[in-house]
């Protein structure tokens, strides 16, 4: 099926072409920026849609449902103006590769690709965009609050700063202070891309590597200099709640819980991604 013929349900429960719905944003022209926000969602209605409801009508909301449930979201007022796309047992990078081609989202200045388990009580999306522009960030993310689930120190909020573009990691983790995860790095849980950066990042996303592990270490390939154009916005924070929502997508067997199978696939995809990048680099330099 051709992408332009894929359909979704819009706010009025009418079927519309995905490409047409995304590329014709209902945003206020006088604001000066256009943003499409993409959230990966399962059945976590307990957060009452706080994540997406923090974004004003100047933002086009696109919801990726991977559990097949969409009608329940109609009880939330903000959900009725969103674009809903549903495919069972998929991930946000699977959706992004198929529905957010750079030519389709070209009307938008910024693209948010966010997980569902993010608390946004202290986040203001419009102020965030203002800071991104002020500091020349092409790839960014909000800082994580101190009580968040934290993997990389780069994502941790720094006090008395608007943004930071580098950090000191644990001993031995950063052989080069200008490379990830100490600089030129944001995590894949809540990245924000400029239109120009997204065109490159979309090509980095592998069609079959749906979890996106390792992608955050390769984002620096899409902007130059990466240690200046990739950063974390400290003045706007989010809470990473660490809800393992994808765990039930794995298969239970041999006494192994479903989440272990998902984690193994993530690790295997990371290895495959690194191998493909190495092969591509070798081919490129051989041609020089």
**Is-contact 201 81, C-beta < 8 A?**
no
CA nearest to 152, candidates 240, 278, 222, 225: 240
Is the full-model pTM beyond 0.85?
no
Annotate 156-187 with DSSP letters as a single string: B--TT-SEESB---STTS-SSTTSTTTBS---
Is beta strand 83-86 parallel, antiparallel or unpaired with respect to 59-65?
A: parallel
CA nearest to 205, candidates 83, 102, 84, 114: 102
Measured distance CA(62)–CA(103) in Å, rounded: 16
Residue 161 has, within 13 A of its CA and on its CB side, a CA count of 17
Distances (CA, A) of 250 to 92, 153, 247: 16, 29, 6
Measured distance CA(188)–CA(83) in Å, rounded: 22
Mean pLDDT by 10 residues, the chain (288 residues): 37 40 40 50 49 69 77 74 80 90 91 86 92 98 89 95 96 93 96 97 94 95 98 96 63 66 89 96 92
The token pair that represents 111 in the structure block: 């693209």
pLDDT of residue 22: 52
Measured distance CA(233)–CA(132) in Å, rounded: 8
Coil, helix or strand at residue 273: helix
For domain 3-244, the CATH class is alpha beta
Residue 55 has, within 13 A of its CA and on its CB side, a CA count of 26
pLDDT of residue 5: 38
pLDDT of residue 12: 36
Q: Where are the domains of the chain?
A: 3-244, 246-288
pLDDT of residue 9: 37
Give the bridge partners for 230, in sequence order. Answer: 139
Measured distance CA(41)–CA(91) in Å, rounded: 9
**Is-contact 180 240, C-beta < 8 A?**
no
């Amino acid at each position: 099926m051709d992408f332009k013929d894929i359909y979704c349900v819009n706010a009025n429960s009418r079927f519309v072409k995905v490409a047409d719905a995304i590329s014709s944003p209902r945003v206020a022209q006088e604001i000066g920026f256009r943003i499409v926000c993409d959230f990966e969602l399962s059945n976590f209605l307990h957060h009452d849609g706080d994540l997406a409801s923090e974004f004003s009508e100047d933002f086009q909301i696109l919801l990726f449902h991977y559990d097949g449930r969409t009608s329940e979201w109609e009880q939330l007022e903000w959900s009725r103006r969103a674009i809903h796309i549903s495919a069972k047992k998929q991930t946000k990078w699977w959706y992004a590769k198929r529905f957010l081609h750079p030519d389709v989202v070209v009307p938008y200045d910024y693209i948010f690709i966010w997980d569902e388990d993010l608390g946004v009580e202290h986040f203001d999306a419009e102020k965030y965009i203002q800071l991104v522009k002020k500091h020349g960030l092409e790839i960014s993310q909000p800082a994580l609050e101190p009580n968040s689930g934290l993997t990389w120190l780069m994502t941790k909020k720094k006090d008395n700063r608007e943004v930071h573009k580098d950090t000191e990691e644990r001993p031995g983790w950063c052989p080069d202070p200008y490379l990830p995860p100490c600089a030129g790095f944001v995590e894949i849980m809540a990245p924000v891309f400029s239109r120009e950066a997204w065109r490159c990042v979309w090509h980095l996303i592998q069609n079959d590597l749906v979890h996106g592990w390792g992608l955050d270490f390769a984002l620096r390939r899409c902007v130059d200099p990466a240690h200046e154009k990739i950063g974390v916005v400290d003045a706007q924070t989010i809470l990473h709640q660490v809800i393992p929502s994808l765990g039930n997508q794995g298969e239970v067997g041999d006494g192994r819980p479903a989440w272990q199978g998902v984690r193994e696939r993530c690790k295997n995809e990371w290895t495959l991604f690194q191998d493909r990048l190495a092969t591509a680099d070798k081919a490129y330099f051989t041609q020089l």
